[in-house]
């Protein structure tokens, strides 16, 4: 099927103003890296997402669904087919008492402010995590002692048949940087959370404290995808990398951060291959020096 035909399929459910053709993915990832997607779709309603997926499946057109892409590396050749981005245009939030219902495109930092304004506690840990709610639930993101599994009660998701299903906290099987959503490639459509009322001053003070830790200990001034590696049992990935003498190690425009060795940063015009080669170099050196296999937390997608 040619691009004109694919565009016609997409326009059945989404306004053509929100369908981008040959769109550089570097414009849509926190790494600022990535070749072009044949099509990038920016839906605003759940019906647009489900309708688009059903139509694409019917025509056997390849597609993938992404969030804010803060944990993704898109390869240099880009992505064939259709990318459906659940971003800032899909970010509605409702707060009723201690129950929060939110669409996955909202940034965690913005959601944390909304929740704090309602004097609800329990979400402060997520205030400094880069990325969107959908991605955070997908990978059970966490920081400073908190994880998404601690607050999420249920999720509406799109399964691989294009059906909307509801999964409870237990059914989500959320554990360290993983969930059933990730294993089955389900897309998050809506998240329900249960929090507690707290003292407004204490909530804001905790958010400020965690934000200060992040800004002083992480290289947020440079494009990155957050922590590249999962925490190996009994170790810290950043310390293993630093103790391997890799602080500041660089391939092309990709560099092991000198501020936090668990991060790889884009120092300017880094290619995806630069990052992939540097990841492999780090894994090789840590394995040789400490006998530890570093597992990637970073997700790599796109045409090889």
Q: What is the DSSP string of 187-214?
A: EEEEEEEE-EE--HHHHHHHHHHHHHHH
**CA 276, CA 273: separation in Å to the nearest integer?**
5
Which secondary structure element, helix H or strand E, spans residue 99, and what is its range?
A: strand 99-102
**CA 83, CA 40: separation in Å to the nearest integer?**
5
Distances (CA, A) of 202 to 93, 123, 199: 23, 13, 5
Catalytic residue among 30, 44, 177, 244: 177
Determine whether 114 is an active site residue: no
List the structure tokens of 142: 């966490």
Determine whether 296 is an active site residue: no
**CA 246, CA 35: separation in Å to the nearest integer?**
28
Ramachandran sector of residue 47 (left: φ over 0; alpha: ψ -120 to 50; beta: rest):
alpha
**60 CA to centre of own chain:** 26
Catalytic residue among 127, 154, 227, 271: 227
Residues in the chain: 304
Determine whether 227 is an active site residue: yes
**111 CA to centre of own chain:** 15
Phi then psi for residue 92, to 5 deg, are -70, 145
Catalytic residue among 23, 147, 192, 297: 297
Strand partners, 40: 20, 83
Catalytic machinery residues: 177, 227, 297
């Amino acid at each position: 099927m040619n691009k004109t035909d694919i565009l016609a399929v997409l326009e059945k459910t989404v306004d053509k103003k929100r369908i981008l053709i040959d769109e550089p993915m570097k414009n849509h990832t926190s790494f600022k890296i990535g070749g072009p997607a044949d099509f990038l779709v920016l839906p605003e309603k759940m019906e647009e997402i489900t309708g688009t997926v059903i139509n694409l499946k019917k025509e056997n057109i390849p597609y993938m669904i992404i969030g804010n892409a803060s944990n993704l590396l898109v390869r240099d050749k880009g992505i064939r087919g259709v990318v459906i981005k659940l971003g800032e245009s899909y970010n509605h939030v409702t707060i009723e008492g201690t129950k929060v219902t939110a669409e996955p495109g909202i940034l965690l930092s913005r959601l944390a402010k909304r929740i704090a304004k309602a004097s609800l506690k329990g979400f402060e840990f997520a205030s400094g995590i880069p990325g969107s709610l959908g991605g955070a639930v997908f990978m059970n993101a966490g920081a400073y002692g908190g994880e998404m599994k601690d607050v999420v009660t249920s999720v509406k998701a799109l399964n691989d048949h294009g059906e909307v299903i509801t999964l409870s906290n237990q059914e989500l099987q959320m554990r360290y940087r993983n969930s059933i959503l990730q294993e089955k490639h389900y897309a998050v459509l809506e998240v329900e959370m249960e929090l507690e009322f707290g003292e407004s001053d204490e909530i804001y003070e905790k958010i400020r404290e965690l934000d200060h830790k992040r800004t002083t200990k992480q290289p947020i001034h440079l494009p990155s995808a957050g922590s590249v590696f999962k925490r190996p049992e009994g170790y810290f990935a950043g310390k293993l990398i630093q103790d391997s003498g890799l602080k500041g190690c660089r391939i092309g425009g990709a560099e092991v951060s000198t501020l936090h060795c668990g991060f790889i940063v884009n120092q300017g015009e880094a290619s995806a291959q630069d990052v992939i080669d540097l990841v492999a170099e780090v894994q090789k050196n840590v394995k040789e020096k400490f006998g530890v296999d570093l597992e990637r937390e970073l997700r790599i997608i796109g045409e090889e």
